[in-house]
Structure 1
Amino acid sequence: MSAKKVLVKDVMKTNVVTIKPYATIKEAMQLMKKHHLKSLVVEKSSPSDAYGIITNSHVLKPILVQEGDIELLNVFDVYNKPAFSVSSEIDVKYAAKLMLDLNVKRVIVSDNNDLKGVLSVTDLSDYLLAMVEEA
């Protein structure tokens, strides 16, 4: 590995798709499908609130296992809040360690409670693969 310090902002995705907490699960699924995503950032209700996250896994149990109605359940019913978050200015190795230690596949990237992006295990893997290609 190179000695060059790589920050989260160098690896994260900045094209984040958000959804309101009171949107239906159907609306969330439609957004995920439209943008080819496995998760959405759930917007804050106020400036001092925390961001949340809804993933395709959050939808599986209430819809498939418990046979819930995608038009009656809201994002609010199934999402995680607060979502794990990291600063865009920290070394990517610390974010990776946090994610692996906590078994989290994606974290929100925010600075001063302001959304900057999302970092996923896939982003970290892509970064590692790019390093191999350069060598």
Structure 2
Amino acid sequence: MSQPEETRVRDAVREDPHIINGLASVAEALRIFEASGHDTMVIEKRSPDDEFGVLTISMIARQVFARNRAPERVSVYEVMEKPAVNISGNMQARYAIRLLTRLNLNVALVVEDDELIGTVGLRELTLAEAASAASDHPD
């Protein structure tokens, strides 16, 4: 009997993330979030030696609206997390879930061959892992 195939991060990745400049306003980022339907955005590198940042709707809620700050007057770089955690698309989903949980994070960037391929969150990873577990144990 063969072992079931493990769910990989690449099975849950959201490809082609929107990339925004860190100098953009939070108001601009919110317009992009609304138009795209995504809840995660990548902050571009300033140079080849720099690292990507990450911005989520939750970060904006906590650091802008909960503090009664004006989104037009706050830059993305003031709210983002940088450096963003990068994980391999080949990593098993269950290990990515453990890593994000241990670091108290909801999202990570997915990198393969030193190239950003997308983002992945606990939600996507958990649903992919659950679907895999359900297919391994049909009723």
Using structure 2 for the length normalisation, give the TM-score. 0.85
> Is the counterpart of residue 60 in structure 1 residue 65 in structure 2?
no
Residue 112 of structure 1 and its aligned partner are, at CA, apart by 4.7
* Structural mapping, 1:81-120, within 5 Å: 81-120=82-121
Query: Once superposed, what is the RMSD of the aligned Cα atoms?
Result: 1.9
What is aligned with 2:80?
A: 79
Runs of 4 or more off by more than 6 Å in structure 1? none
> After alignment, is 103-112 or 50-59 more displaced?
103-112
SS at match of 1:53: strand
Residue 40 of structure 1 and its aligned partner are, at CA, apart by 0.7
Using structure 1 for the length normalisation, give the TM-score. 0.87
8 A Cα contact 1:53 1:81, kept in partner: yes
Q: 1:62 to 1:106 in 2, by over 3 A?
A: closer
Residue-pair matches, total? 134
Structure 2 unaligned runs (5+)?
none
Q: 1:83 to 1:28 in 2, by over 3 A?
A: same
What is aligned with 1:5?
A: 6
Q: In 2, distance between residues paired with 1:25 and 1:88?
A: 29
> After alignment, is 68-77 or 4-13 more displaced?
4-13
8 A Cα contact 1:50 1:113, kept in partner: no
